[in-house]
Amino acid sequence: MSKRKNYSPEFKAKVAFEAMREERTLAELTKKHSVHPDLISARKPQRHLL
């Protein structure tokens, strides 16, 4: 059985900050950081429509 990866808070913040800047697509970020797209989507603040 494989062990789950644990990411540091600094790594999570770095990836979330890159996602907020929207300079790269979600697919590009997942490939660059070798993480699942759900991890980035969950950390990125959502823009709500009024």
pLDDT digits (tens, 9 = 90+) for 3-16: 888 889 899 889 98
Query: What is the total count of domains within the chain?
Result: 1
- Domain carrying residue 28: 9-43
Please provide the average confidence, as pLDDT, over all residues in the chain: 84
What is the rounded average pLDDT of the residues 28-50? 80
Residue 35 lies in a domain: yes
Residue 3 lies in a domain: no
Residue 49 lies in a domain: no
Residue 32 lies in a domain: yes
Say if residue 44's pLDDT is above 80: no
Q: Please list, residue by residue across 3-38, b when 16 or more beta carbons sit within 10 angstroms of its beta carbon and e when fewer do.
A: eeeeeeeeeeeebbebbeeeeeeeeebbeebebeee
Say if residue 30's pLDDT is above 90: yes
Q: How far apart are CA 48 and CA 39, in angstroms?
A: 19
Residue 26 lies in a domain: yes
Identify the pLDDT of residue 40: 85
Identify the pLDDT of residue 24: 92
Residue 18 lies in a domain: yes
